[in-house]
Amino acid sequence: MTFDLAVIGGGINGAGIARDAAGRGLKVLLLEQADLAGATSSASTKLIHGGLRYLEYYEFRLVREALSEREILLQAAPHLVRPMRFVLPHHAGLRPWWMIRTGLFLYDHLGGRKLLPPTRTRDLANDPVLKPSYTRGFEYSDCWVDDARLVALTARDAALRGADIRTRARCAAARPMDGGWVLTLEGGRQEHARVLVNAAGPWVSEVLGAVVAQNAPNRIRMVKGSHIVTHKLFDGDKAFIFQNADGRVCFAIPYQQDFTLIGTTDEDYTGDPATVAISNAEETYLLDAVSAYFKRPVTADAIVWRFAGVRPLRDDGASKAQETTRDYVLELTGTPPVLSVFGGKITTFRRLAEAAMVRLAPFFPGMPGPWTAGATLPGGDFPWDGIDALLPSLPPASAHRLAHAYGTEAHAVVGGRDLGAGLTEREVDWLVGNEFARTAEDILWRRGKLGLRFTPDQTAALARYLAH
């Protein structure tokens, strides 16, 4: 069998392109060397947002596109994407009040906002969390997302539309043959495809050079972003965005009901993306950033989890990592063709996939046009504000987790022996059979975040169950 399209990389961009192409009737193969969302796409700040600070770098097209995508994704995956209000305290020594207000005015109006409430000013004088010196600020809208589940369900949708999704399937070599590509997988198996898409994220240049044997253009700048998760630091469902003295911003976000997510850093990275980890200096930076605003200092003993990822950004010559554009570049080279993806944001993955199909359209005459803007992801076929009605018979905590993970498919995973923290054998079977999970780590840290609640003994028991 010859595939129309072979995609290397099972992050959000690879999964998005596979889904878009499969929905247009193409025969699609996706190859991921490890697990879906195993690298950058599970290490984000978990936001679907326009990127307020990108306005300072005049990235108006990127911000407009991202803002318009918020509401498209909110309706496509209302179980995974949810509205969130962000409180921005004003710091008199940093960006002036008028500048922030102007930026937020643009933020409210650039993307055609319809569902999300607008910005408002806030009196913070009696805020129970912030230091008394922060007396006023703003509150604006963005969205939160379970990033790794977004990837898994995008790949699941691609599979439901006919794509062949293979994890633990590293492509060792791709060579031209008979006007197409012959792909040699680790282990020796070969597949054939007419067109190749290189969506390998931090490995995009390595795939071009070592796998495809083309000269890899020096267009990637690897930027590390690190996060910490602490015990819950404040009540309520609002998040905070803080200005730092170095010009960056830091988020403190309600996370998994009992925790707070803090991030992110921005620093250049030159090591192996597979072994990236938060440094002591980054951890201190994040603790200091939030402690500058909160009444109660946040210390290292509050941390329950740390994670880091490498963003494969287009190298635009910016002097600082934080100033490097988050926009994407699609490079089409060679005969037979290979399309390489540089940069991108999880927020704009759907638009990136559409742009990729525009570039590839000449190779597939008669291919149908765009279709994803009005299509839901699996489990997302319900009103964006109707999630609380999905599982009324379950205890609130279980109903909340399952509804937000599976949407209208949640009934399929209810029941069975509990393996810990509400994870049942039936749910594990579903994840293996429908969402490409293979290991305890896949399930506990990417298909969900129950790793925050599992004990070592429960993790070992889950591994034994999977082995059988």
pLDDT digits (tens, 9 = 90+) for 59-83: 888 899 999 999 999 999 999 999 9
Whether this model's pTM surpasses 0.85: yes
Q: 287 phi and psi, to 5 degrees?
A: -65, -45
CA distances from 249 to 45, 88, 243, 464 (A): 12, 10, 5, 43
| pLDDT tens column, 167-180 | 999 999 999 999 99
Q: 29 phi and psi, to 5 degrees?
A: -120, 130
Mean pLDDT value across residues 271-291: 97
Strand 423-424 versus strand 180-185 pairing type: unpaired
Residue 220 pLDDT more than 90?
no
- Residue 56 pLDDT: 82
Other Cβ atoms less than 10 A from the Cβ of 88: the count is 23
- Residue 390 pLDDT: 84
Residues contacting residue 146 through CB under 8 Å, at least 6 positions apart: 46, 80, 404, 405, 448, 449
| pLDDT tens column, 307-353 | 999 998 877 776 666 656 668 999 999 899 999 999 889 999 999 99
| pLDDT tens column, 77-110 | 999 999 999 999 999 889 999 999 999 999 999 9
**Rounded CA separation 213/14 (Å):** 20
- Residue 392 pLDDT: 80
Residue 387 pLDDT more than 90?
no
**Rounded CA separation 216/168 (Å):** 24
Cβ-contact 180, 299 below 8 angstroms: no
Helix (H, G, I), strand (E, B) or coil at 269: coil
Mean pLDDT value across residues 265-281: 95
**Rounded CA separation 403/400 (Å):** 5
- Residue 301 pLDDT: 98
Residue 218 pLDDT more than 60?
no
**Rounded CA separation 360/336 (Å):** 12
Which carries the bigger pLDDT value, residue 218 or residue 447? 447
Which carries the bigger pLDDT value, residue 211 or residue 318? 211
**Domains in the chain, start-ordered, CATH in brackets?**
2-41+149-218+325-374 (3.50.50.60), 78-144+221-317 (3.30.9.10), 387-467 (no CATH)
> Which DSSP string do the residues of 126-143 spell out, in sequence order?
T-SSB-TT--EEEEEEEE
The rounded percent of the chain whose pLDDT value lies above 90 is: 85
Mean pLDDT value across residues 180-196: 98
Cβ-contact 420, 450 below 8 angstroms: yes
The rounded percent of the chain whose pLDDT value lies above 70 is: 97
First-to-final CA distance of the chain: 32
- Residue 372 pLDDT: 98
Residue 405 pLDDT more than 70?
yes
